[in-house]
Amino acid sequence: MNLNAQDALERILSKAKAVGAQTADAMFEESESLSVEVFEGAVKNLERSDNVGIGLRVLVDGRPGYSFTERLTEEAIERCARDAVALSRFTDPIDIDLPLLSVGASGHDLDLIDPSAAEWTPDQMVMACLEAEEEARAADPRIHNVPHLGTTRSRGRMLLANSKGFRGSRESASVSFGIGVVARESEIDKMGWEGISWRNAANLAPKAMAQEAVSRAVSMLGAKPISPGKIPVVFDERVSGQFLGIFLGSFLADAVQKGQSRLVGKIGEQISVAGFSLSTQPHLKGMSGSKLFDGEGVLTHPRALVEDGVLRGFLHNLETSRKDGILPTGDATRSYTGKVSAGFSNLMVKSSTEVSKEKIFCAYPKILHVVKMEGSTACNAVSGDISIGVQGYLIENGCTIPVDRVSLSGNFFDILYKLEACGDRYRPGIHSSFVPALVFSEMSLAS
Amino acid sequence: MDAFRAARIIDLARTRGADFAELFVEETQFSSLLLRDRKIESATAGTEFGIGLRMIFGSQVLYGHTSREEEESLFKLVEDLAGARPRGRSHLDLGDPIDGKPLPEKLRSRAIHPGDPMLDGRMEAVRKADEAARAVSSKVAQVSATVLHRHSRIAIFNSEGLDASDDRTWTRMTVAVVAEDGGQRQTGSEAPGLRRGLEFLVDLDVQKLATVAADRAVRMLTAQPAPAGEMPVLIGNGFGGVIFHEACGHPLETEALRRKATPFAGRIGEAIAQPCLTAVDDGTIPDAWGSLDMDDEGSPTQKTTLIEKGVLRTFLSDRIGAAECGVPRSGSARRESYRYAPVSRMRNTFIAPGESSMDDMMRSMNNGLWAVRMGGGSVNPATGEFNFSVEEGYMVRGGKVEEPVRGATLTGKGHEILPRIRMVGSDLEFAPGTCGASSGLVPVCVGQPSILVDPILVGGRA
């Protein structure tokens, strides 16, 4: 018989102590979702998922051991506790103090759940897909296929507890809709995507999203390479977060402490243009990365890592903050299957020069507007070397032509100084990456 | 889960109108050990457990899964799925039942013991990798080494009376090395794995593995930025097969054909490549990382020839894909776990060895790029566009290998590149990998001999 969430957490912590752990923390997660996929006017797939799991970290003489189980029976939980303690003898010690304070009565409301999300019925979900497909096919005769079309509603719950008495929980729910269309002209296929998540279905606009996907696909027809050389580049807000994301590992204290970051020893120094700021924002209302406490139970707070171009700090968990001799910062990330790491809650980028994309396009005689990146594996996250295939538009003297089969190169830490402006908006919906369009004065383009 | 309880759940699904119903029961034990920065950073063990229920109505697939094994939870799952099912019904003949016949003994993978997560052999392996890599050069700045082990027991029951079970074990070691010199950093990695228990480590030459990875990282420190443009490229054996996997393998799955998202639709029997090219997907290679004894619908696995001397022969199919697309079943239904409905996926996919020697290919290439070792990449299966990075590459001039280059990417479209594979070498090698698609992450091998592609677009630094 399965134990409920609270009982399972209490049982695993007490069992861990009984078999030799001095301290321990445990995370319980459960999630439920329903998703529908439509192809050519008919439902192809309907999926319902229901997951539970509990993950344990023990410390035995400072040595961590990790285990998890998706079986929540008494026997499975006991085995999990014994495994974690047994595994701790392999690892090297770490120095951490688990937090004492419980969260829950803080009165903060992050709006992570809207009960109406659960009221979105399977029939309504199918209808949204059918409308979107019809809209997409009617929007342009060159739409040749709609291979990806689906919608999901999901909800989840997380509870964290430790042997010092910390107890915290978080619940969330969301709906999402995505469409991918293929436009064909002269035997050439181009794909256009749109996908957005919200807290409830009222905000979803399937027809508008279908039109957006169509216009993205159609506008790329006839794309070709342009001549190589140096060129100003604007990364659209659709991809700017993904682009920055390749290199953000350099802001992890763990990477810095292990010498795997070029930002080592640079706190207090200028690393980008004045006016540029980059921060972690855990308290944004309703966003995916929003949280009151982190993966180790430390209270979160908004914090700038780069302020006016100056490096102010790194992302820490308990282990790395102790090593650096600073107070815990509340950036720990964790899932029930994994070990503790660190990350942005919600990443936010701002610049003192925020302008609309239209103004950006007009401000340069020639600029490459990047809307799609194709694999980042030739980029080096540690050295900052950029070598990345992109698609987008060349905007030159008011004319726009689609561009593909080109690649951009440079170095991330160099181009931070070439940031000339930011766009004035973030991409819509709920997510955890608030990065506006980024304009760099110059990158190298190869074709 | 016993056969009687499974039958009661399947019966309820049939009563609710399903043409076909199936239960997939899985319990998987994981363990991993990670060394980084000379320390054992984590040791983890875990149990994944759940039951997947699939109900097919015509060509509509309903799938649900739960970690709760009480009968009431499963009855509720049937009712929830049946209740959520949209109206309307198509017809699809699923064809003959799966007979569940086991694979012949000589083709089966053999794990000596499923693996004790406490076995200390892993500690020695990761420590040895760290020492061996650091011994290569003082420029080695960082080493990480992991041993991952997974043991899965699955059972499949369906409404045609199938009652099949399987025991699957995988073990893999990865070594990643970062070399540094005057602000320049390069990485090298090796990651062998087999369908074996932890005894895999006993036969593994960890010293050599770590040395190869470290050597590559150090060697690439002196590399110059790669030039850009169209040129002939000699793609190295082993992991080089990742391009064929991504750009041609995925479009040859019925999962792509079902969505009309493949340039190969309607081309069976046509020449889509040069006569030097034969490509195979084989699930029957004993102990290989992507091998199966049976697939995740209970069908015996197979060796499937996809392209024979340049001519497209068939697609990789699961049961629904075969029925909908009118191609033979290939026993390729796969899923990461009980959380996913099975779809057609690759197993060990490779370009068969040809007759060209390295010298011939170098001479024929004359001036171009030798991509000895590929890194990762991505592909859009609906349009065929791909983009891969070169982890270790050299310029070739006048048929002679010259300086190492870094930052090169290979881009193009799978179906356009295929006919440009002009020469195929004889040095076939396999490399294990993890392939992600709609039914999750599954272990596969990619493989090929060295091949000459002429031309292909190389993205580098301007």
Whether A32 and A49 have beta carbons less than 8 Å apart is answered as yes
CA distance B336 to A245: 27
pLDDT of residue B176: 95
CA distance A257 to A265: 10
Q: Phi and psi (nearest 5°) for B258?
A: -60, -35
Min Cα–Cα distance to chain B from A385, Å? 8
**Structural tokens at position B366:** 């004359």
Using CA coordinates, name the residue in chain B closest to A1: B70
What are the distances in angstroms from CA B21 to CA B61, B68, B189, B213, B434? 10, 19, 44, 48, 29
Q: Phi and psi (nearest 5°) for A106?
A: -75, -15
CB pair distance less than 8 Å for A122 and B86: yes
Handedness of CA A69, A71, A72, A76 (dihedral sign): negative
From the CB of residue B453, how many other CB atoms can be counted at a distance below 10 Å?
A: 24
* Average pLDDT score over residue span B276-295: 95
pLDDT of residue A204: 93
CB pair distance less than 8 Å for A87 and B460: no
Residue A19 region by backbone torsions, left for phi larger than 0, else alpha for psi between -120 and 50, else beta: alpha
**Structural tokens at position A4:** 């409920």
CA distance A117 to A175: 7
pLDDT of residue B166: 92
Using CA coordinates, name the residue in chain A closest to B342: A45
Min Cα–Cα distance to chain A from B286, Å? 30
Contacts A68 to B, Cβ<8 Å: 44, 46-47
CB pair distance less than 8 Å for A378 and B375: yes
CA distance A407 to B103: 47
pLDDT digit string, tens, across residues A344-397: 999 999 998 899 999 999 999 999 999 999 877 778 888 888 888 899 999 998
Using CA coordinates, name the residue in chain B closest to A230: B462
CB pair distance less than 8 Å for A48 and B384: no
Task: Find how far residue B205's CA is from the centre of its chain.
Answer: 23
CA distance A51 to A28: 11
Which residue out of B32, B34, B47 would a mutagenesis test of the A interface target, given it has the greatest number of A Cβ atoms within 10 Å?
B47
What are the distances in angstroms from CA A81 to CA A26, A70, B29, B42? 10, 13, 15, 16
Whether B386 and B246 have beta carbons less than 8 Å apart is answered as yes
CA distance A113 to A175: 11
Q: Residue B353 contacts by C-beta under 8 Å, 6 or more apart in sequence?
A: B424, B425, B426, B427, B428, B449
Q: Residue B15 contacts by C-beta under 8 Å, 6 or more apart in sequence?
A: none
* Domain boundaries, given as residue ranges, for chain B: 110-150+169-220, 229-459
Closest by Cα among B55, B113, B46 to B81: B55
| Residue A103 pLDDT grade (very low, low, confident, very high; cuts 50, 70, 90) | low
**Structural tokens at position A346:** 């919600």
CB pair distance less than 8 Å for B67 and A258: no
Nearest to A378 among B88, B341, B407 (CB): B407
CB pair distance less than 8 Å for A409 and B50: no
Helix (H) or strand (E) holding B372: strand B368-380
Coil, helix or strand for A207? helix
Instruction: Give me chain A's average pLDDT, please.
Output: 93
Cross-strand partners of B176: B144, B189
Report the percentage of chain A scoring pLDDT > 70: 98
CB pair distance less than 8 Å for B88 and A191: no
Min Cα–Cα distance to chain A from B262, Å? 10
Closest by Cα among A117, A122, A102 to A293: A102
Residues A413, A418, A419, CA angle at the centre, nearest 5°? Answer: 100
CA atoms within 13 A on the CB side of B149: 25
Whether A221 and A183 have beta carbons less than 8 Å apart is answered as yes
CB pair distance less than 8 Å for B462 and A230: yes
Helix (H) or strand (E) holding B375: strand B368-380
CB pair distance less than 8 Å for B59 and A83: no
CB pair distance less than 8 Å for B63 and A47: yes
* Domain boundaries, given as residue ranges, for chain A: 115-157+169-217, 229-244+354-446
Check whether the bond before B419 is cis (ω within 30° of 0).
no
Residue A325 has pLDDT above 60, yes or no: yes
CB pair distance less than 8 Å for B411 and A405: yes
Which residue out of A37, A56, A85, A91 would a mutagenesis test of the B interface target, given it has the greatest number of B Cβ atoms within 10 Å?
A91
Report the percentage of chain B scoring pLDDT > 90: 73
Who has greater pLDDT, A63 or A383? A63
Nearest to A67 among B46, B59, B229 (CB): B46
Contacts A445 to B, Cβ<8 Å: 462
Burial of B3 by CB count in 10 Å (0-12 exposed, 13-18 middle, 19+ buried)?
A: exposed
Nearest to B457 among A80, A388, A405 (CB): A405
Closest by Cα among A83, A78, A74 to A2: A74
CB pair distance less than 8 Å for B77 and A122: no
Strands (E), B219-287: 224-225, 229-235, 279-282
pLDDT digit string, tens, across residues B321-370: 999 999 999 999 999 999 999 999 999 999 999 999 999 999 999 999 99
CA distance B108 to A233: 54
CA atoms within 13 A on the CB side of A201: 19
* Average pLDDT score over residue span B57-85: 91
* Average pLDDT score over residue span A91-107: 77
Nearest to A70 among B41, B48, B387 (CB): B48
Q: How far apart are the first and last CA of chain B?
A: 61
Min Cα–Cα distance to chain A from B360, Å? 29
CB pair distance less than 8 Å for A258 and B62: no
CA distance B164 to B295: 11
Helix (H) or strand (E) holding A51: strand A42-60
Helix axes B206-219, B121-136, angle to 10 degrees: 30
pLDDT of residue A100: 83
Q: Which amino acid makes up residue A263?
A: L
CB pair distance less than 8 Å for A191 and B384: no
Q: Which amino acid makes up residue A186?
A: S
From the CB of residue B124, how many other CB atoms can be counted at a distance below 10 Å?
A: 11
From the CB of residue A364, how many other CB atoms can be counted at a distance below 10 Å?
A: 18
Contacts A382 to B, Cβ<8 Å: 178, 185, 187
The one-character DSSP state at B268 is T
Range with lowest mean pLDDT among A292-296, A403-407, B321-325, B333-337: A403-407
- Paired sense of beta strands A438-446 and A229-235, if any: antiparallel
Who has greater pLDDT, B230 or A133? A133
Whether B456 and B386 have beta carbons less than 8 Å apart is answered as no
Nearest to B407 among A88, A182, A385 (CB): A385
Task: Find how far residue A108's CA is from the centre of its chain.
Answer: 23
pLDDT of residue A376: 74
> What is the largest distance, in Å, between two alpha-carbon atoms of chain B?
72
Residue A134 has pLDDT above 70, yes or no: yes
CB pair distance less than 8 Å for B383 and A88: no
pLDDT of residue A107: 44
Q: How far apart are the first and last CA of chain A?
A: 62
Residue A131 region by backbone torsions, left for phi larger than 0, else alpha for psi between -120 and 50, else beta: alpha
CB pair distance less than 8 Å for B462 and A409: yes
Burial of A186 by CB count in 10 Å (0-12 exposed, 13-18 middle, 19+ buried)?
A: exposed
**Structural tokens at position B17:** 């109108």
pLDDT digit string, tens, across residues A332-353: 999 999 889 999 999 999 998 8
CB pair distance less than 8 Å for A87 and B389: no
Cross-strand partners of A419: A440
Whether A135 and A211 have beta carbons less than 8 Å apart is answered as yes
| Residue A106 pLDDT grade (very low, low, confident, very high; cuts 50, 70, 90) | very low
CA distance A146 to A250: 39
Whether A87 and A64 have beta carbons less than 8 Å apart is answered as no
Using CA coordinates, name the residue in chain B closest to A221: B383
Q: Which amino acid makes up residue B41?
A: E
Contacts A90 to B, Cβ<8 Å: 33, 40, 43, 123
Closest by Cα among B444, B147, B432, B151 to B292: B444
Who has greater pLDDT, A271 or B103? A271
Using CA coordinates, name the residue in chain A closest to B62: A46
Q: Does the structural domain A115-157+169-217 have CATH classification 3.40.50.720?
A: no
Q: Does the structural domain B110-150+169-220 have CATH classification 3.30.2290.10?
A: yes
CB pair distance less than 8 Å for A52 and B68: yes
Report the percentage of chain B scoring pLDDT > 70: 97
Min Cα–Cα distance to chain A from B113, Å? 19
pLDDT of residue A108: 56
pLDDT digit string, tens, across residues B202-235: 889 999 999 999 999 999 999 988 888 889 999 9
Number of CB pairs, chain A paired with chain B, less than 8 A apart: 228
pLDDT digit string, tens, across residues A206-249: 999 999 999 999 999 999 999 989 999 999 999 999 999 999 99
Most confident of the ranges A110-124, A427-441, B381-395: A427-441
Residue A58 has pLDDT above 80, yes or no: yes
| Residue B112 pLDDT grade (very low, low, confident, very high; cuts 50, 70, 90) | low
Using CA coordinates, name the residue in chain B closest to A381: B185
pLDDT digit string, tens, across residues B400-448: 999 999 888 898 888 889 999 999 999 999 999 999 888 999 999 999 9
From the CB of residue B93, how many other CB atoms can be counted at a distance below 10 Å?
A: 9
The DSSP line for A220-289 is: TTT------EEEEEEE-TTTHHHHHHTTGGGGBHHHHHTT--TTTT-TTSB-S-TT-EEEE-TT-TT-TT
Instruction: Give me chain B's average pLDDT, please.
Output: 91
Global ipTM: 0.88
Coil, helix or strand for A11? helix
What are the distances in angstroms from CA A302 to CA A284, A293, B41? 9, 12, 29
pLDDT of residue A398: 84
Min Cα–Cα distance to chain B from A13, Å? 16
| Residue B117 pLDDT grade (very low, low, confident, very high; cuts 50, 70, 90) | low
What are the distances in angstroms from CA A428 to CA A134, A193, A319, A363, A439? 23, 14, 35, 25, 20
Min Cα–Cα distance to chain A from B12, Å? 17
Q: Which amino acid makes up residue B194?
A: L
Whether B289 and B195 have beta carbons less than 8 Å apart is answered as yes
| Residue B199 pLDDT grade (very low, low, confident, very high; cuts 50, 70, 90) | confident
Using CA coordinates, name the residue in chain A closest to B188: A380
Min Cα–Cα distance to chain A from B400, Å? 25
* Average pLDDT score over residue span B231-251: 93
Who has greater pLDDT, B95 or A346? A346
CA distance A54 to A161: 11
CB pair distance less than 8 Å for A69 and B385: no
Min Cα–Cα distance to chain A from B284, Å? 30
Contacts A341 to B, Cβ<8 Å: none
pLDDT of residue B63: 96
Nearest to A446 among B45, B61, B228 (CB): B228
Contacts B46 to A, Cβ<8 Å: 55, 67-69, 337
Residue B54 has pLDDT above 70, yes or no: yes
